[in-house]
Every structure is written in C-alpha cells, then in structure tokens.
Amino acid sequence: MDIISGKKIVVTGGAGFIGSNLVDRLSRDNEVLVIDNMHTGSESNIEGAEKGGKVTFQKGDAKDIGKSAFKADYVFHIGIYSASPMYRANPHLIAEVVDGMISVLEYAKSNGSKVVFASTSSIYNSVDPPHREDCIPLVTDYYTEARIAAERVSELYCKLNGQTVSAIRFFSVYGWHEEAKKEYANLVTQFMWAIKKGEQPIIYGDGKQRRDFIFVDDVVEILIRSSQLKGYNVINAGTGKNYDLNEMLEKLDKYMGKQVKAKYIEMPVKNYVMETLADTTRLRSLLNYEPKVSLDDGIKKLLGI
C-alpha cells in the first residue's frame, strides 16, 4: 500500500506528462480529481486510470479549482506552463502562474489540503553547480520569475496561515506520456523520436551543455514523499549526476543500434541554461530517497529493452 491511501486528491495538469504519471500511481488507492486545460495534455494519458473508476476529469485551469465541490486532502499542482519558450512568446503567462498558485493556495486553506507543486531547476540559471535549494536566484528569464513568484507566495501562505506546501524543483524529467508535449518534450525523448524517424536530432551550440536527467518514476516518488512533510519546503528533484547532450545521444544510438549524428546549429537563445546539476542533500535528508533510475536504465525502459 502506498503512503497515501484512501484520500481525496486533486492533480492539476493531471492529463499532462508528469501529472498523468502521478495520477496513474495515486489512483490505485485514492479518489483523484484531474483538472487540466489540455495545453500540453491528453485525456488518453489517463484513460487507464479513468477505467479504474477512481479518477474524474475536469477541463479547466488551476484557477478554476475553487469552483469544484471536491474537498481534497492533497493538491498536487503540476498544471503550470512548463517551458521557457512559452513565456518568451507570452510574458503574461507569469501573471497566470501566480493567479493559479494563489487559487490553489486559497482552495487548500479552505479545505485543509496539503499542497505539493511543480517548481523548476531553471531557477538556477547562471548559478554555479551543484545547485542547492538555498541559492540566491539571478534575474534571467520570464519562466524562472514565474516559478520564483509561485515559491514566494507559497511560503507567505505558510507563514500567515500555517499551511503545508512543498515546492519541488524539477530537473530534466523524461519518461512515459510525453507525446502530447510535442516540441516541449524532454530532449531525451525528442532525440529518441528523431532517431526512430531517421532524422538528425538538433543540438544548440556544440552539445557540451549538461543536464541532470531524471526519470519520471523517480519524480512521482519524490512528489508523493514530499506530501508527508510539514510547513514550507523546497526540494530538488534531480539525480546529482549530469551528462552533456553528446553523451546522451551516444547512449541513445547505442541502445537503439543506430549511428545517427546530431545537427549542430548556432545557439539561438540568449539566456540558455548551460548546466543543471542537483545537490541532492535535502532530497536524501528530508525524504530519505535517492533516485533509482539511471539515464541508461531510463532509456532502456522507454525502448522496452
């Protein structure tokens, strides 16, 4: 039996990539309400969970959470716009993120719900690795400012109202159910799709940029364990090991039996994140957890080998 059992749970963004993997796990022993505006989600991601009869789907934004009569014990707020290009195209998304976060926090205050939400390792842009949760973020990007604001307003609610909120800073998450993300999918998955089609994966610059890749199953475990904490917490969801994109492509070629070379193009993004590497001290001390799936094993899982 899981550490959350017999509870009522809201998952915003529950039809998306990470959210649907979380719903798959939670719906085994709990009643789950999925709220998703389907921006990068697909109801096909939760079809299996819905057939079990414990999942209800509501199309909408996180700011609509208060309209539901569903009184949750936990809210996993994963439905937050999740890629920097989205914000460069529309900086007003920052306001939507803050509005959605406040709506979730108000709902949780009214219902006594514990909250866990999706933050990002992009907060560490231009900060030297390994990346610790107590670093002082620099001003670098619309996307990061949205998540920093979400973290700060969450901490405020905890201080003012005694609420429990955990912000989980996702590093480079890949795994099942990424199809609906399309061009926003993780690079591991995008490269895999390209190789399967006989196309060259596109790499910005020389491919020496490094990422801390973490498999979605480990992220789901981190989210669930974080729900049992008290007060306000910020925790990295990373492995503490990183690879450059050339190394990652070599692993894909190896396990797919291919020799596909990347297409290198000039870096088009001014504030591109060159390296992510999680300090996992807090992950180990607060959650007693270390990610189980290596990059090699994650690739093999996705390939079914």
User: Please, which pLDDT band fits residue 23 given cuts at 50, 70 and 90?
Assistant: very high
Residue 71, pLDDT score: 97
pLDDT at 22 over 80: yes
Helix (H, G, I), strand (E, B) or coil at 233: strand
Output the CA–CA distances (angstroms, integers) from residue 127 to 122, 275, 277, in the order listed. 10, 9, 10
Helix (H, G, I), strand (E, B) or coil at 27: coil
- Predicted confidence (pLDDT) per residue in 57-108, tens digit: 999 999 999 998 999 999 999 999 988 999 999 999 999 999 999 999 999 9
Q: Where are the alpha helices (DSSP H) in 90-136?
A: 93-111
User: Which CB contacts under 8 angstroms, 24+ apart, belong to 52-61?
Assistant: 52/27, 52/28, 54/27, 54/30, 55/23, 55/27, 56/31, 56/32, 57/14, 57/15, 58/33, 58/34, 59/35, 60/35, 60/36, 61/35, 61/37, 61/96, 61/100
Pick 268 or 185 by higher pLDDT.
185
Q: Where are the alpha helices (DSSP H) in the chain?
A: 17-26, 47-51, 84-89, 93-111, 142-161, 187-196, 216-226, 245-256, 281-287, 295-303
Could you please state the CATH topology (level 3) that the domain comprising 8-175+214-238+278-291 is classified under.
Rossmann fold (3.40.50)
pLDDT at 278 over 70: yes
pLDDT at 208 over 80: yes
- Rg of the chain taking only CA atoms, in angstroms: 19
pLDDT at 54 over 70: yes
Residue 1, pLDDT score: 62
Q: Which of 69, 164, 78 is nearest to 118 (CA)?
A: 78
| 276-303: average pLDDT | 98
pLDDT at 275 over 80: yes
User: Please, which pLDDT band fits residue 216 given cuts at 50, 70 and 90?
Assistant: very high
Q: Which of 234, 269, 255, 233 is nearest to 299 (CA)?
A: 255
User: Please, which pLDDT band fits residue 271 given cuts at 50, 70 and 90?
Assistant: confident
CA distance 250 to 39: 32
| 115-142: average pLDDT | 96
Residue 88, pLDDT score: 93
Residue 43, pLDDT score: 87
Q: Which of 88, 123, 58 is nearest to 278 (CA)?
A: 123
Residue 293, pLDDT score: 98
104, two tokens = 């979730």
- Predicted confidence (pLDDT) per residue in 154-198, tens digit: 999 999 999 999 999 999 999 999 999 999 999 999 999 999 999
Helix (H, G, I), strand (E, B) or coil at 271: coil
Mean pLDDT of the chain: 95
Residue 48, pLDDT score: 76
